[in-house]
Amino acid sequence: MTKSVIFDLDNTLYNWVDAIVPAIREMVEKTSEITGISEEEIIRDLRKVNVSKGTIEHPYSMLEAECIRDFFAEQPEGSAEKVIDPAFHAFNVHRKTNLKLYEGTKKLFKYLRRRQFRILAFTEARIEATVDRLSRLELERFFDVIYCVRSVGFSDSDLHNDKFYSRIEPSKIRLLDSSVRKPNPEVLQQILDAEGLTPSETWYVGDSLIRDVGMAVSAGVNSAWAKYGTKHDPENMKFLVSITHWSDDEVKENIELSRQHQPKPDFVLDDSPLDLKANMAMFAATDRAANRSKHSVRS
């Protein structure tokens, strides 16, 4: 029977918060310097765009912020992007510089490959962000299948025809509807069914106790909480809340979920993804001992 591991990506394999948030903050600061619009006003309007797009990583979202549109209303058509290009440049530089794998990630993947595990990804991130990060970090080669969210206006043919998306082998990518939300266990169950995976032989690894571990527990999958992925710069977390793409109702819903009974993961990974290796070995040893005990009783 094939064993598998399904990984969340952001804050599980790399520190997404401390990579993307400083980049967005730098973009806001540069835009404020260029336009004279206060950072507070930019952040307010940027969040409205993020909520409407369902992501904080929508390309050129700054150009859709109301205060920026108003600022450039009297300017020559097409000039806005050029004028605030230094802000976009600052964003890209910080994003690329800050994006780093958690220590031990590739060692774990190589270990799983040697043990002939199937390796999958399931993320709520949009396809363009997923492709960019996995290819930039050279992780795409380890995955058998990558489940990510389709962008608004995205055509499936783009996977084959666009040079950007073809950085990952198209056959590895499975596109989910933009309405997909963890911790709905039905989505994870659909992935298990589609890939022919057995819950008892599958591990799910994620940084959110409610959204990842809770979903895995509900689906009957072995769960590993990437506790190390919850450690972020407090200032970055504060800024992230100010620009979140979650609506007010979604924020309230997540607060309510956090107040409910906390799901109990099978494993807690304190320091890095590589902690999974030791936990899985211990799990397998316990399972073998239980089977021997059952066999002894039957004899």
DSSP 3-state of 123: strand
Residue 124 has pLDDT above 80, yes or no: yes
Write down the architecture of domain 4-15+101-298 according to CATH: 3-Layer(aba) Sandwich (3.40)
Whole-angstrom distance, CA of residue 68 vs CA of residue 55: 19
Least confident of 89-93, 148-152, 168-172, 246-250: 246-250
Mean pLDDT of 206-225: 95
Tokens 């309510």 sit on residue? 256
Mean pLDDT of 24-38: 95
Return the sign of the alpha-carbon dihedral for residues 149, 156, 136, 205. positive
By CB atoms closer than 10 A (0-12, 13-18, 19+), residue 227 is middle
The answer, yes or no, to whether the previous bond of 183 is cis (omega within 30 of 0) is yes
Supply the pLDDT for residue 243: 92
Confidence of residue 296 (pLDDT cuts 50, 70, 90): very low
Residue type (1 letter), 49: V
Return the structure tokens found at 55.
Answer: 């992501």
Q: Give whole-number Cα distances, 147 to 32, 109, 175, 203, in Å.
A: 37, 17, 6, 16
Beta carbons within 10 angstroms of residue 196's beta carbon: 9
Confidence of residue 165 (pLDDT cuts 50, 70, 90): confident
DSSP 3-state of 106: helix
Residue 54 has pLDDT above 80, yes or no: yes
Residue 253 has pLDDT above 90, yes or no: no
Return the structure tokens found at 149.
Answer: 């969210």
Supply the pLDDT for residue 166: 81
Return the sign of the alpha-carbon dihedral for residues 212, 210, 286, 108. positive
Q: What is the DSSP string of 24-74?
A: HHHHHHHHHHHH---HHHHHHHHHHHHHHHT-S--TTGGGGSHHHHHHTTT
The answer to pTM > 0.85 is: yes
pLDDT tens figures, 61-103: 999 999 999 998 877 776 777 889 999 999 999 988 999 999 9
Whole-angstrom distance, CA of residue 55 vs CA of residue 155: 18
Supply the pLDDT for residue 16: 96
What is the DSSP code (8-state) at residue 119? Answer: E
Least confident of 90-94, 216-220, 278-282: 278-282
Residue 53 has pLDDT above 80, yes or no: yes
Q: What is the DSSP string of 3-15?
A: -EEEE--BTTTB-
Among 104, 179, 191, which residue's Cα sits nearest to residue 144? 191
- At residue 14, φ and ψ (nearest 5 deg) are -150, 160
Mean pLDDT of 242-270: 78
Name the residue ranges covered by the structural domains of the chain.
Answer: 4-15+101-298, 19-98
Average pLDDT value over all residues in the chain: 88
Element (H, E) at 122: strand 118-126
Residue 153 has pLDDT above 80, yes or no: no
